[in-house]
Amino acid sequence: MHKTDRRANLSLLYVLADMIVIAMAYGVSFIATGVHQNIEYMAWYGFLLASFCIVFFLFMMVFRMYNMSTFFYWDRVIRNTTLSVLGTAGTIFVFLFMAYNTVFSRLFLLVFIMLSLASLNIGKFALLKMKKRSVANEKVIYVGNKMMYEKFIRYMKLSGYHANILGYINVNGPDVIHGVTCLGQIGDFEEILRANPCDNVVFTQSLTERPEIEQYLSVVNEMGITSKVLLDVYKLDRAKWYVSSLGTYPMLTYYNVTLDPVALGVKRAIDIAGALAGIVLTLPLMAVTAALIKLESKGPVVFRQKRVGRNGQTFYIYKFRSMYKDAESRLQELMAQNEMGGGGKIFKMKDDPRITKVGKFIRKASIDELPQFFNVLKGSMSLVGTRPPTVGEVAEYDRWHHRRISIRPGITGIWQTSGRNEVKDFDKIVQMDIQYIENWSLALDVILILKTAKVLVSKTGAQ
């Protein structure tokens, strides 16, 4: 791919329209607030306008609002345009504050931001409306089946892609597309292209049609016509997907967990900061707990157990020992009294005889989990995530249960903040974990941390 071709979907019309609207809003604000009388500061105001346009453009690029393939739903347009204006204003104001710049009128800035906010949203809708009513210059021939054509047209109307459909080439004899000119049969492909000059040929292809479609793509390429291939890809339940490339190979990626490196980087930074703060603040409490455990029963103060982390990778979890030394060997004899059900996929038992007196208290107060801050610091766990299962529990999992270990496990999560010992159905626990994975955001993590603090204060759910 040539470097400039990466901007093939960039709409210069949208960019130019927004810049004109911003300039007009700026001019109106400039005159209405009377700042045009301060001739000595004209250069500063010109610099501010240029800076605002550049930063706004970058925000809109991040939100893909200048990409013709984006679906321009009215709520998406309003949300992303508003966030871009406010984000730009916030960025500019921060720099002005840092530079101690008092040249600009506060009234002017307020009027300009409000006017830009309103005019950009109105202008965007007006432009989209005008574009839909106008006659497209780009002439397109469609090659594919009826079902995909209807979807193609619907998506084209939602996006910024604008084309004049000359007609379609029939690939299935009885598959007639009503209201669209049939240019002929696929067997006469080259002759049809010669008789109907076009700018673009749009193919629809299922993954089983690759050998057949390659010969037609070659014809289009040799004739110097641009072609597009709409892939009728496999649709996996609950999976998101995106198209990228690996060298010269187009690559389709299916995923369930977030792949955003920025968001994941921020989450990791929060984990490190939170773990360090947790260790420092609870160090005296951990020292007292260690002494009490040592005085009551023999064995190590900290219990290490192999758990399963992200994508099946094992690690050793750290907890204050709350059971007698032989607790692991006695697990099987108590399995019949498991209150969680699920065929041994998770074990919980009220009045577990393996728990010591100190252990009962530190479990109730969740003090036994404080050493897990060191797991978070090492990177094997997160502050918020799913419960880390044992190796034995994972061996009993059904296929769909494995989704709960597709992310880094956490000290707390939705199950822990929902009264963990009140939810005893394992499948429901997994559904909670999947709910967290599918709806994950940094804001959700903050909410769950706050809920965890509330649970600890009220002492509900722990056992």
**Above 90 in pLDDT, residue 162?**
no
Residue 371 neighbours by CB under 8 Å, 6+ apart: 286, 302, 318, 319, 320
Q: pLDDT band at 318, cuts 50/70/90?
A: very high
Q: Across the chain, which distance is largest between two alpha carbons, in Å? A: 93
The pLDDT of 431-457, averaged and rounded, is 90
**What is the DSSP pairing of strand 302-308 with strand 314-320?**
antiparallel
**What is the DSSP pairing of strand 314-320 with strand 410-412?**
unpaired
Judge whether 384 and 376 are in contact, CB under 8 Å: no
- What is the per-residue pLDDT for 287? 95
Judge whether 204 and 230 are in contact, CB under 8 Å: yes
Domains in the chain, CATH or no CATH each: 3-133 (no CATH), 139-232 (3.40.50.720), 261-458 (no CATH)
User: Residue for token digits 């690690």?
Assistant: 315
Judge whether 70 and 160 are in contact, CB under 8 Å: yes
Judge whether 121 and 129 are in contact, CB under 8 Å: no
| Highest averaged pLDDT of the listed ranges 57-66, 331-340, 376-385 | 376-385
The pLDDT of 274-288, averaged and rounded, is 95
Burial class of residue 346, CB neighbours in 10 A (0-12, 13-18, 19+)? buried
Nearest to 326 by CA among 349, 302, 353, 366: 353
Range name among 142-151, 211-220, 345-354 with the lowest pLDDT average: 345-354
Centroid of chain to Cα 340: 33
Please state the φ and ψ torsions of residue 305, each to the nearest 5 degrees.
-140, 140
- What is the per-residue pLDDT for 267? 94
Range name among 24-28, 34-38, 84-88, 272-276 with the lowest pLDDT average: 34-38
Compute the distance between CA of residue 35 and CA of residue 32 in angstroms, rounded to an integer.
Answer: 8
Percent of the chain whose pLDDT exceeds 70: 83
**3-state class of 308 per DSSP?**
strand
What does pLDDT average to over the chain?
83
Nearest to 412 by CA among 377, 362, 447: 447
**Above 50 in pLDDT, residue 381?**
yes
**Above 90 in pLDDT, residue 460?**
no
Q: pLDDT band at 159, cuts 50/70/90?
A: confident
**Above 90 in pLDDT, residue 31?**
no
Own/partner pairs, 43-52, CB within 8 angstroms, 24+ separation: 44/101, 44/103, 44/104, 45/104, 48/92, 48/104, 49/22, 49/23, 51/92, 52/22, 52/26, 52/88, 52/92
Percent of the chain whose pLDDT exceeds 90: 33
Is this structure's pTM higher than 0.75?
no
**What is the DSSP pairing of strand 240-246 with strand 249-255?**
antiparallel
Q: pLDDT band at 180, cuts 50/70/90?
A: confident
Compute the distance between CA of residue 59 and CA of residue 81 in angstroms, rounded to an integer.
Answer: 9
DSSP 178: T
Compute the distance between CA of residue 455 and CA of residue 184 in angstroms, rounded to an integer.
Answer: 69
- What is the per-residue pLDDT for 102? 65
**What is the DSSP pairing of strand 302-308 with strand 410-412?**
unpaired
Tokens, residue 209: 């049609």
